[in-house]
Amino acid sequence: MRAALALLALLACQPASPPAQICGPTTPAPKPAAASSAKVTMRVRPGLVDGPLQGRLLVLLAAGGEQEPRFMVGDDDHTAQVFGLDVEGWPSGQPIALAGDVAGYPLADWAALPAGEYRAQAVLHRYETFRRADGHVVSLPPDRGEGQQWNRAPGNLISAPQHVRIEPGGATELALELDQVISPLPPVTDTRLLRHVELESPLLTTFWGRSTKLGARVLLPEGWDTHPEARYPLMIYHSHFGRELAGYRETPPDPGLPPVDREGLARECPNGHGPACARLGYERMVQEAGYRFHQQWTGPDFPRVILVQLEHANPYYDDSYAVNSQNLGPYGDAITHELVPHLEQQFRGLGAWARGLYGGSTGGWEAIAAQVLYPDEYNGAVGNCPDPLDFRAYVTIDIYADENAYYAVGPFRRTPRIGSRRADGTARSLVEQDNRLELALGTRSRSGQQFDIWEAVYSPVGPDGYPRRIFDKQTGVIDREVAAHWHEHYDIGHIITRDWARLAPKLRGKLWLNTGDMDTYYLERSVRLIEARMRELDPPPEWHVAYGHGDGHCWSGDRDHMNFESRLTYHSRFIPLLVDHFLRTAPPGADTTSWRY
C-alpha cells in the first residue's frame, strides 16, 4: 500500500464566498506540512443541477495509467492521489478553492506532490439530509442503485480528466469544472429462473424517515413452475452488493476475453484479486464458473432450493452487516422478520428449519452473526474468512487491551500496525494508511470504506448523530467506552461465551468456519480465538473449523484447488452441505420430499 505519512485533517468550517462552506472534522488538525503556492479551484457548470449542493468534494491526481483518476484510488502503492473536503450550500458556478492543508491521501498536502505531469479530475459525492426517527438530522450519501460507490454513483458530479503539470513545491494553477452528471443505471432484467425482488421495509422506513427498501436476487430451482405443490429450502448467500447474482451466468463466457493462464494466476493472482488478474484471463475463469454453475443448477442432480443474494446497501456502505445498528437501523430484524418471510411466501419456502446461510469476508461475518443472533430462525451457517468475530483480533488490534490502533507503543518506540499483507507475507498497508484514505474520502464515518462501516454498524450514535469513533482517526487512540459497547453487542465470540447456556441447544452443529492461515487482513486471528473459546464450551458446540495452510483472503475450505478457483464455487459446495444438514436435523413431520425431485 502506501508509506506511512502524516495525513492532515480538513479545514475547520470557514466561509468560502457565501453561501458555500468548506467543513472539516471536529478533531484538531495537525499543523500543515508546508505552504503551497498552488491555486486550485473547482466549480459546477452553471445550470447543470438545481439548488445548492452538499457532499464530499474530491480532487484526484493520477501519475499514470489509462483509467479516469476516479477509478484509480485504492489501498495499495499504485493509488491515485486524493484530496477531500466537505461542502454545504454550494451553488453552481461559484468557485471553491482547494487550500494546501485539505485532507490528502497518500500525500498529506499539495506542496508535497513531486513535480511532474498528472491527470486531474474532480468528483462531488452528493449527500442528502436524513431526518431519522431518533431525532438526529444527518447528511449522508443515499445509495442510488450502485452499491454505495462514490466513483460510480448516479447523480454524482464529475469533471473531465485534464492534464496538469505540477511545479516544484506543488506550485501550479488548476481550474476544474464539474460538467457531467453520472447517468442512472440501466434496469436489471429477470429471466426464467432469476428474479429481482424489492420490498419496502416498514422498520427501516420508520428509522430513516423516508421510504427504504430491501432487495434480493432470487434464483428459483429448476422445475419451480412445473411443481406447484413443492416447497423449498432457502439458501441465503451473504456477499457485498451486486446488481446480479454473483457466481451465476446463463450464457457461455464472452468470446473476446483473454484466455485463462492458470500458471500465471497461481503466481500473480493466487487469491483472485490484483492488477495482474485481468490480463491472465481471470474474468474468463469467473464467467466459465458462473456458466458451469448454471448448468449444475438446471441439471438433474443438484438440490432443488431457492437461492437468495440479499441487497441492503445503505448510506454508509454497500451492505448493512445484516444486524440491528444504532446508526444504520434495524437491518437484522428487517431482513429476518420482513424480507425472508416475504420471499418464502412468494416463492414457497419451507421455513426456519430449512434456511441456511453462507458467505465470505463481510458475508462470512454476516452468515455467522445472523445464525448466532437469530438462532431459531436459521439452521446452519458457513462463514469463510469472516470479518473479525472476536474484537481481541480486530485485524491486528485488540480493541480492549491496546491503547492505540495505529501503533504498538512501548517506552522507547512505536511500531506501526500492519493492516494487510501480500500473498508472500510482506506488508501491503498499515492500519493508519487505510484510515487516512478514509479520512480523505469522507468525514464522520462517511467514506464508504471498511473501517468506517465497522464503526457505523457497531458504535453507538454520537451527540452529532454520526457514529462514535472506536479510535481517533488522527491519533489512533482507542475509546474505551465505545469498545465496551462493541463488546456487549457485536463481539460474536464474547456473545457466544456469555450466552452459551441459552444458545447451546440452538447452535450445536450449526456453524462451519473456514479461513486461510495467511489471510490478507489477518482474519484467521479471530477464528483462532473463536476456536479456543469452543474448547471451553460445555456442552461442546460440534462446530467445524478449517485452515488453509499458506492461503490468503478468502479461503473457503477447498483443499484441492487454489483460492482463485475455489472462491468461485461457493454455491456448488455449500448448498449440498447445508441440504444434508437440513435432512439430518429436520423436525418431525417436516416436508423432506416435495422438493427432492
pLDDT at residue 2 above 70?
Answer: no
Q: How many CA atoms lie within 13 A of 588 on its CB side?
A: 0
Predicted local confidence at residue 35, as pLDDT? 46
CA proximity to 93, closest of 174, 15, 153, 20: 20
**pTM check: above 0.95:** no
For residues 124-147, one letter each, b for 16 or more C-beta atoms within 10 angstroms of the residue's C-beta and e for the rest, the string is: bbbbeebebeeebebbbbbbbbbb
- Residue with C-alpha cell 477531500? 84
- The answer to whether 482 and 460 have CB atoms below 8 angstroms apart is yes
Q: What share of the chain has pLDDT > 90, as a percent?
A: 89
Residue 169 confidence (pLDDT): 83
Question: Phi, psi (5° rounding) for residue 199?
Answer: -140, 125
Give CATH 3.40.50.1820 domain extents, the chain: 194-390+491-585
The confidence score (pLDDT) of residue 170 equals 81
What pLDDT is attached to residue 171? 85
- Nearest by Cα to 368 from 355, 352, 380, 351: 380
CA angle 322–557–586, rounded 5-degree value: 65
Q: What does pLDDT average to over the chain?
A: 93
2 by Cβ neighbours in 10 Å (0-12 / 13-18 / 19+) ranks as: buried
Over residues 248-276, the pLDDT tens digits come to 999 999 999 999 999 999 999 999 988 89
- The pLDDT assigned to 38 comes to 82
**In whole angstroms, what is the distance from residue 323 CA to residue 328 CA?**
9
Query: How many CA atoms lie within 13 Å of 277's alpha carbon, on the beta-carbon side?
Result: 15
Give one DSSP letter per residue of 127-195, joined into a string.
Answer: -EEEE-TTS-EEEE----SS-S-TTT-TT-EEE--EEEEEPGGG--EEEEEEEEEPPPPPPP---SSEE
pLDDT above 70 covers a percentage of the chain that reads 93
Q: What is the pLDDT of residue 476?
A: 98
Q: How far are the Cα atoms of 361, 435, 445, 470, 479 from residue 452, in angstroms, in the given order? A: 16, 8, 5, 10, 15
Q: What is the pLDDT of residue 101?
A: 61
Give the pLDDT confidence score for residue 96 in this predicted structure.
Answer: 94
* Spatial distance between the Cα atoms of 305 and 335, rounded to a whole number of angstroms: 19
The span from the CA of 78 to the CA of 506, in Å, is 48
Least confident of 9-23, 104-118, 187-201: 9-23
Superfamily, domain 194-390+491-585? Alpha/Beta hydrolase fold, catalytic domain (3.40.50.1820)
Instruction: Write the CA distances from 507 to 132, 512, 537, 582, integer angstroms.
Output: 35, 11, 12, 13
For residue 209, which phi and psi values (nearest 5 degrees)?
A: 75, 20
Residues 150-168 have pLDDT tens digits of 999 999 999 999 999 999 8
- Segment 321-361, tens digit of pLDDT: 999 999 999 999 999 999 999 999 999 999 999 999 999 99
Q: How far apart are CA 86 and CA 109, in angstroms?
A: 17
Kindly state the DSSP code that residue 338 receives in the 8-state scheme.
I
Note the pLDDT of residue 147. 94
pLDDT at 9 > cutoff 70: no
- Mark residue 380 as left, alpha or beta (left: phi above 0; alpha: psi -120 to 50; beta: remaining): left
User: Is the CA virtual torsion 6, 7, 11, 13 positive or negative?
Assistant: negative
Distance CA 578, CA 561 (A): 21
In this predicted structure, what is the pLDDT of residue 64?
87
Q: Which amino acid is at 457?
A: V
When pLDDT is cut at 50, 70 and 90, the band that residue 7 belongs to is: very low
Residue 403, φ and ψ in degrees, nearest 5: -95, -25
Task: Please list, residue by residue across 39-71, b when 16 or more beta carbons sit within 10 angstroms of its beta carbon and e when fewer do.
Answer: ebebbbeeeebeeebbbbbbbbbbbeeeebbbe
Report pLDDT for 197.
97
Contact of 472 with 466, CB cutoff 8 Å: no
Is the confidence at residue 27, as pLDDT, over 70?
no
Stated as kind and residue range, the H or E segment containing 120 is: strand 116-126
For the chain, how many residues are written?
Answer: 597
Cell 443448477 belongs to residue: 297
**What letter does residue 429 receive in the DSSP assignment?**
E
- Name the CA radius of gyration of the chain, rounded: 24
